[in-house]
Each structure stands twice: as structure tokens, then as C-alpha cells.
Amino acid sequence: MDKKKELPHFYIGSSLGGQQKWYSRLTDFAMNAGGCAAVTACDCAIYFEKYFGLRGLYPFDLENISREDYLRFGKIMERYLYPRWSGVDKLEIYLDGFGRFLKERDANLKLSAWSGEENFFDTREIICRQIDAGFPIPCLNLKHKEPAFQAYVWHWFILNGCEERDGKFFVKAVSYGVGRWFDLEKLWDTGFEQKGGLILFGL
């Protein structure tokens, strides 16, 4: 792969992708507090229809993605990735929920899990392959020892870029309406036994 690669994404106003905080704490507390898995699935569904031409995934205007339509789309996705009390805290829950969403729409897209217990070097390689193939990567981070990652604790976000820089490997994490670059080795080494991991796509 090239030293740096970023996948295209989409903006909703000034927001890079969708945000769970758009859902009201008063009228939709579950999505506001724990809708990050559904939001990443919404972003991926839009991505695959917009850039891979997989039809029938996003039921609204693909050329003019509004906040209002995205909120309605999130409510559809919520049925598949409901933010239960402990959150969508296992890769298998995501595989089942988003897998059902895709199957019901006859989307020729395969899902598999990559455990957070896998070593850093193999993980770096699989991320390179996915990004090179044009696939965004939903990522689950549970607990983390580093304060720098506290906003990403018990949280799903999307990896859609990678870069080799000064002997280190960085990934671009899309969440909260922005993209941030993280040192993958630090992100992957959470310091806890309970691990998250990645969702991998294939055609």
C-alpha cells in the first residue's frame, strides 16, 4: 500500500458522517447514549451504496444526505443494532444485527470479526488490506488504559484511513463528526483483558 491512504466519506453539513448526539436525550435516550454501533452501520451502509453501488441500503436521497433523513435512517438501523443496557459490546452482536440488515436487502456483502486479542502486526496487515480494498472498518474499543482514548471507551467508530509515519502506523478514526489520527499500536494495546475488535467486509 501507499504510505498514506484515506477512503472517501460523506459530510452532513459540516459533520463527517453521522453522530449519535443528534438523537435527543429526552425522546431517544437509547440512541443518544448508546447508538454508536448503529451510527457506524448507517455510515457504512451509505458508504457502500455511494461508492460501491450496492443499491437499496439507504432509503433516502443519496445525493443530498440531510440530518433529518439520517436520523430517520438511524431509527431503522436501531432495530438491528439496538443499544441494549451493556451496549453492543461484542463483535458477534454487530455481525448478527448488521448482517440481518444487509441480508434483508440482498446486499452482496460479507462480514467477519477480527478480535482485539489478535496481535498488533497481524492487525496492521489486515487493516492495510481492508483499506486498500476500499472497505471502511467498524472498530469497537471497550476499556483503555490511556486517557487520550477516553472519548473512545465503550465506543464504536470507523477506521477509514491508514498511514506509515516515522516508523509508526496510524489509523484515521471517524466519529463525533470528525476524523482523528491515532497510533494503532497504542490504540490496540488497551491494557485490559476484555477486548473489542474490528468488523471486516468482503465482496
The DSSP-derived string for 95-146 is HHHHHHHHHHTT---EEEEEETTS-HHHHHHHHHHHHHTT--EEEEE---S-
With contact defined as beta carbons under 8 Å apart, do 189 and 120 qualify?
Answer: yes
- The span from the CA of 38 to the CA of 22, in Å, is 13
Q: What is the pLDDT of residue 116?
A: 98
Q: What is the pLDDT of residue 2?
A: 52
Q: What is the pLDDT of residue 83?
A: 82
pLDDT category, 27, cuts 50, 70, 90?
confident
| Mean pLDDT on 185-191 | 97
Task: Please check the confidence at residue 25 and state whether its pLDDT lies above 90.
Answer: no
pLDDT category, 194, cuts 50, 70, 90?
very high
Domain ranges within the chain, ordered by starting residue: 4-202
% of the chain surpassing 70 pLDDT: 99
pLDDT digits 0-9 by tens, 154-169: 999 999 999 999 899 9
pLDDT category, 9, cuts 50, 70, 90?
very high
With contact defined as beta carbons under 8 Å apart, do 117 and 195 qualify?
Answer: yes
pLDDT digits 0-9 by tens, 122-153: 999 999 999 999 999 999 999 999 999 999 99
Alpha helices, H only, the chain: 29-34, 36-52, 67-78, 91-104, 120-132, 184-188
Q: Which three cell numbers stand for residue 137?
A: 472498518
With contact defined as beta carbons under 8 Å apart, do 94 and 37 qualify?
Answer: yes
- State the chain's mean pLDDT as an integer: 95
Kind plus residue range of the DSSP H or E element containing 156: strand 155-165
- The span from the CA of 76 to the CA of 58, in Å, is 10
How many beta carbons lie within 10 A of that of residue 43, not counting itself? 26
Q: Which three cell numbers stand for residue 33?
A: 447514549
Task: Please check the confidence at residue 1 and state whether its pLDDT lies above 70.
Answer: no
| Mean pLDDT on 63-92 | 93
| Mean pLDDT on 181-200 | 97
Whether domain 4-202 has CATH 3.90.70: yes
pLDDT category, 95, cuts 50, 70, 90?
very high
- The span from the CA of 91 to the CA of 144, in Å, is 17
Q: What is the pLDDT of residue 92?
A: 97
- The span from the CA of 59 to the CA of 51, in Å, is 16
Task: Please check the confidence at residue 35 and state whether its pLDDT lies above 80.
Answer: yes
The amino acid occupying position 76 is I
- The span from the CA of 115 to the CA of 198, in Å, is 6
